[in-house]
Amino acid sequence: MKELLLQYAGYNVWANKLVIDRLFKLGDDLLDKEITSSFSSLRATVYHSWSAEYIWLQRLLLADNPVWMASEFKGSFLKACKEWESASDGLLQFTNRQYDDRALQHVVQYYDRAKAAHKTPVYQVLQHVFNHSTYHRGQLITMLRQAGEVNLPATDFIAFARRK
């Protein structure tokens, strides 16, 4: 189980970087252009994806008061993307530090944003985070296409697995 989750954590870092590198080439007008999806713009989707990865990382690290960054953040888009990359790397490091599959079965207790209590095994949290990120990366690629962007990166897991 650990090896599989490490692959997905590495894939998450790699795929996020591909998308982020592409988004860096855009101006604010395109980042904030209203495009129909789960969120109203590329920027809003990025901030959601970063916030989700970051709050789950904080929960896994047993932070007392995890922060949803999208509601607090006042910095630049570049800074947000760098923080998103850092959260992704933090998830990879966390996964790597789990000594064996028993550690991944540990149940973590946390509160969601509505303050409801939950208990979930670590491996399920990690599966959720990586799946959630894949879902929103797909939306970002679709939104970029709708905005007229071309030559977008392939972010499928198999592309990650096939790289030399």
Q: For residue 91, what pLDDT is reported?
A: 98
Q: What does the pLDDT read at residue 164?
A: 74
The pLDDT of residue 115: 92
63-78: per-residue pLDDT in tens?
989 999 998 899 999 9
129 secondary structure, DSSP code: H
pTM of the model: 0.94
Where do the structural domains in the chain lie, given as residue ranges?
2-111+125-162
Q: Give the side-chain half-sphere CA count within 13 A for 110.
A: 21
Buried b (16+ CB within 10 A) or exposed e, 82-93: ebbbebbbbbbe
Query: In 3D, which of 49, 41, 42, 91 has the Cα closest to residue 70?
Result: 49
Q: What's the confidence (pLDDT) of residue 36?
A: 86
Q: Which helix (DSSP H) or strand (DSSP E) does residue 121 occupy?
A: strand 117-121
Fold exhibited by the domain 2-111+125-162: Four Helix Bundle (Hemerythrin (Met), subunit A) (1.20.120)
